[in-house]
Amino acid sequence: MTDRFDLVIRATRVIFPDEELPAAVAVRNGCVAAIMPVDHPATAALVLELDSSVVLMPGLVDSHVHICEPGHSEWEGFATATRAAAAGGITTLVDMPLDSVPSTVSVAALEVKRNAAQGQCHVDVGFWGGVIPGNLGELAPLRRAGVLGFKCFLADSGSDDFPPVTSGQMEDALGVLRDLDAPLLVHAESAEAAAGIAAASGRTYAAYLASRPRGIENLAVCQVIEASRRSGGRAHVVHLSSSDALPMIASARRDGVAVTAETCPHYLILAAEEIADGATACKCSPPVRERANRELLWGGLREGAVDLVVSDHSPATADMKEEASGDFGAAWGGISSLQLGLPLIWTAARRRGFSLSDVARWMSAGPAGLAGLRRKGRVAVGYDADFCVFAPDETLTVDQGAIQHRHRVTPYTGRELEGVVRATFLRGEPTDPARPRGQLLSSQANGDPG
């Protein structure tokens, strides 16, 4: 007698947390119900047989995405961002609390955002709340309302309604969030250090890089570590670009400080020496640094000082990116890469000796763990049946016409990459660009739809 399932996927290559194995993955009611030997008999409404040209990976989780709706939906929106995510093998996004109007710094603002997202999402979506000066009293209500954690800036965010906090205010917030069991994500650049440096202008990338030196980031990372040490709260450094900070993070973790860090594809793929003058598609904050720094960031992933890789998808119109003028000082500081993250990282990672299990740990399990999404990020019994079917040896050339983001300005146009997403499954069903099935996630349901 055999069990009855909704779906069984038989694959010669399944990516588990620490290894790649053949397996039959059985799905019932949107969850992984069993993992069996690949030839184990099982009855299902649908059986898929995957050959060795593809792997079955956990759906990616991107915990750093600026969706911008409502308020700036001309930059990006829930429909376009989540459609791009599904095309890239991503099954869960967590939306940042700024670049929309209003910023997510109160329960009322969270409800505005959730209402805007309803019925538009092609993948599951959760929300970070914001920490700004004066809103400590909003943090507990926001957590009860379902945000997965919180984000703050130590320097100008670029949004008038999302001002930075001081290091002391960050420490106060960490103390509150410790008792709410929520992480604080920190944009770690020092406003004090940056204040003494003239802003960049003009088409020269070297001048822009000089205006955001490593010291601005290093000082802020030190402030994050010490605030976490004193408060006992969980701090997470977002979009780490300075490899100088890696020894500090590793030392703090040996001391038991609850600090983690992420980096992004642009810091692992691009290099300052390769960015042409006027190539404002490459502008981000903190900036892309030198080749040697890039290789040290890969070392941070290898050694565990960097925990995860996420997009920091920060979309903008072509006008905002100053494509015509090429002025780095005037251009919006953000890179769009949501749909491309998996092939970008796999292309570079395999050349450095990493495996797809490593990539899944950085891009699925790690972000899910940060956000407290207990049913996301792994192919395991009891987890949501969120999968990416990935052809790691197939190549693609980045074509703007195939990009699903609202705006297609990206520094990767024309780049040849290895790895093609063949299909994305959300809770056991293939995603469909014509049928949004994504649900809104809540911390009160341990990452389940709420």
Tell me whether residue 86 is in a domain.
yes
Res 407: pLDDT:
83
Q: Are 394 and 46 within 8 A, CB to CB?
A: no
Q: Do residues 19 and 96 share a domain?
A: no
Res 199: pLDDT:
85
Q: Residue 38 sits in which domain range? A: 4-52
Which string of DSSP letters, residue by residue, matches 214-276? HHHHHHHHHHHHHHHHHH---EEE-S---GGGHHHHHHHHHTT--EEEEE-HHHHH--GGGPP
Tell me whether residue 260 is in a domain.
yes
- What total number of domains does the chain contain? 2
List of the chain residues with pLDDT < 70: 1-2, 445-450
Q: Do residues 174 and 235 share a domain?
A: yes
Res 369: pLDDT:
98
pLDDT tens-digit profile of 364-389? 999 999 999 999 999 999 999 999 99
Helix (H) / strand (E) containing 140: helix 136-144
Q: Do residues 45 and 176 share a domain?
A: no
Res 449: pLDDT:
46
Q: How far apart are CA 118 and CA 122, in angstroms?
A: 11
CATH number of the CATH domain containing 256: 3.20.20.140
Q: Do residues 274 and 318 share a domain?
A: yes
Res 198: pLDDT:
85
Tell me whether residue 369 is in a domain.
yes
Tell me whether residue 341 is in a domain.
yes
Res 450: pLDDT:
44
394 residue type, one letter: E
Q: Do residues 38 and 129 share a domain?
A: no
Q: Do residues 35 and 99 share a domain?
A: no
Q: Do residues 75 and 215 share a domain?
A: yes
Tell me whether residue 432 is in a domain.
no
Res 448: pLDDT:
52
Q: Are 130 and 161 within 8 A, CB to CB?
A: no
Q: Do residues 26 and 167 share a domain?
A: no
Q: Do residues 233 and 313 share a domain?
A: yes
Res 446: pLDDT:
55
Q: Do residues 43 and 73 share a domain?
A: no
Res 335: pLDDT:
94
